[in-house]
A and B are shown apart, each in its own frame.
Chain A
């Protein structure tokens, strides 16, 4: 079997990509309107929504960047994973029901639509749309980098493609993503999410079993691996990792509470057929995430353990942790499934971002500026999808070659942008009648200014604190403060009734 490792891995990845293209072609026939393209006509069952919610949460950031973070920083990044149950619970309690209700009442297709309805403000729609476009570029760049990293590590191990370069790998994988996202819109997105979610869960289980039982250097499983890490640097194996307690607390806040405002997730909460499906969607999404996230911790711990223990050479770059683990320790069949799983994780998030970014560009921003969205929305949605993909591709390459940013840190910036700017506006807006338009505007502006200032001016906060945390905290203070001080404006009667339910 070992002799067939290369063909098995290549075959698995090629099969997976062909499946995505096939789903794209199939979904194109079902996509007849902008409503189909952006929210799948609000017709999806709980299994599909549940898998789509979790698979779009755990992206290339998690499957490629996550193991890299554990390798590089020790256990610190556990604080981006252990929050999943809290994060999903907050999101479903505070957002899922009412966003779905408003979507049906007002026939909305995007998060800015919902917020414009709640705050009765085109300016809030505009700010939300701009925030989404900015965050999407950062986050999509993460996915492009992750796809290229994985594809290059697969192809460069073969004789035929040994010298393949990073840019070609980025272009090849992006082409598949663009194809099915453009043809099939969100319908292709969610159905590929189902396939991708199942592959990711299988990959998570198989990897954790391999990591716990099949590493020659660690016959005692994880206990041996963590003991080796602890002997090298105790802090790396302890709960705060190398980053320290404040960095971890910041990540908990941004990734846990911040989950409730991620536009690619909350948009999926608008797609289910029945409101009562949420009762199934939440545990399904949380369970899927938990199983798949095992891969993040398992691979990172094993790779850091074997390297500090002297059983393997140091990695060229932390982001190669997952591919290196699969090449060194995984059975060829498992490697095939997990490599396909890596692509699945990346693409399932990327397609969601392409979709919400396109909605912001051709629906929300024009509507906020000139009172109506573009004519022939479906055509322009496809054009905008390509445009955003190309822009993100360029940003990814710039970030890779000029900046040398890790996949996960770029992803954390994108996530932080959404969390800080949108969570207060969505979470309080849908549940607290006193939440005001001025509070929403202040929260978005404060968060964008702080988050981008920290990033652009390379401001290093003490104690490893993430800039997104400060931006998020200030945005919440601004939102609640403005809403308390200013006299509340009446909410539209239908929205007010939704808030009573």
Chain B
């Protein structure tokens, strides 16, 4: 019940942030416009004009999405496997994603103000965070799975318990 309420709370908070975005009058070209010179291509146009009015609720919405990812993964192991180490590694993954999200928005806002950006691995810095930062934050979650596999995901005793369950089910089926 408590878990359901936490997820429901997150979903409702996300819905509220989404409603705030939708309620904001859409500026011209909010989702791009046709490229003036090249058919089949679109342009984003005035970044500040379309970002500023919805930045706060949109940033909150994505931050809540990262927290939701953590909340979803949290119920994967049975309660007895949710050790402090599991919670710590899960929290670290979510915090890393939030850090990346903050860096992306901060460097993008700075670009909108100054018109200047650094290039990292061939991409403007905000885009670098979008490509490599977001992927890297997800990679942490993959590492938690791989490194913690025998502790949180499938400890040997659970594997044995499953083998017993399969054997029991087979016996029951044959005896029927």
Contact = CB atoms under 8 A, between A and B. Distances in A.
Contact of B159 (A75, A92, A93, A276): A276
A278 interface: yes
Nearest to A106: B169
Interface string A175-198: 000000000000000000000000
Interface stretch (A153-161, A345-353, A472-480): A472-480
Interface in B22-39: 22, 26, 30-33, 35, 38-39
Interface stretch (A7-15, A311-319, A390-398): A311-319
A256 B65 CA distance: 10
B99 interface: no
A209 interface: no
B15 A498 contact: no
A477 B4 CA distance: 11
Best-buried of B4, B75, B78 by chain A (most CB within 10 Å): B4
A494 interface: yes
A375 interface: no
A240 B42 contact: no
B54 A105 contact: no
A427 B5 CA distance: 16
Given A314-B41, A464-B32, A97 B65 contact: no
B147 to A, nearest CB: 9
Interface in B149-176: 149, 153-154, 158-159, 161-162, 165-166, 169
A241 B137 CA distance: 21
Interface in A248-273: 249, 252-253, 256-257
A111 B3 CA distance: 25
B88 interface: no
Main secondary structure of the interface of B (DSSP, over half): helix
B11 A477 contact: yes
Contact of A498 (B104, B142, B162): B162
A244 B52 CA distance: 11
Contact of A97 (B1, B41, B43, B153): B153
Contact of A244 (B50, B122, B131, B149): B50
Given A86-B141, A238-B44, A275-B162, A246 B8 contact: no
A235 B44 contact: yes
A205 to B, nearest CB: 16
Interface in B1-22: 1, 3-5, 7-8, 11-12, 14-15, 18, 21-22
Chain A interface, DSSP helix/strand/loop, else mixed? helix
A249 B58 contact: yes
Contact of A94 (B58, B72, B138): B72
B14 A235 contact: no
B121 A476 contact: no
A247 B119 contact: no
Residue from the set B5, B22, B42 with the largest chain A CB neighbour count within 10 Å: B42
A233 B43 contact: yes
B62 A314 contact: no
B131 A431 contact: no
B169 A494 contact: yes
B83 to A, nearest CB: 15
B4 A239 contact: no
A72 interface: yes
Interface string A210-252: 0010000000011101110010111111111111111101001
Nearest to B62: A249
Question: What band does the interface of chain A fall in when counting residues whose beta carbon is under 8 Å from B?
Answer: 35 or more
Contact of A238 (B8, B30, B126, B134): B126
Given A104-B166, A223-B122, A94 B154 contact: no
A78 B131 CA distance: 7
Contact of B41 (A223, A235, A304, A483): A304
A249 B65 contact: yes
B142 A85 contact: yes
A90 interface: yes
B141 A257 contact: no
Interface in B113-149: 115, 119, 121-124, 126-127, 129-131, 134-139, 141-142, 144-146, 149
15 contacts: A75-B130, A82-B135, A83-B134, A83-B138, A87-B138, A97-B154, A235-B44, A241-B44, A252-B62, A252-B65, A252-B134, A308-B38, A432-B3, A480-B11, A484-B1
Interface of A: 71-75, 78-79, 81-90, 92-94, 97, 101, 104-105, 212, 221-223, 225-227, 230, 232-247, 249, 252-253, 256-257, 275-276, 278-279, 282-283, 286, 290, 297, 304, 307-308, 314-318, 427, 431-432, 434, 462-464, 473, 476-477, 480-481, 483-484, 494, 497-501
Q: Which 8 A-B pairs have the closest CB atoms?
A: A235-B44, A222-B122, A85-B138, A464-B31, A242-B32, A239-B130, A86-B138, A89-B141
Interface of B: 1, 3-5, 7-8, 11-12, 14-15, 18, 21-22, 26, 30-33, 35, 38-45, 47, 50-51, 54-55, 58, 61-62, 65, 68-69, 72-73, 75-76, 78, 97, 104, 108, 111, 115, 119, 121-124, 126-127, 129-131, 134-139, 141-142, 144-146, 149, 153-154, 158-159, 161-162, 165-166, 169
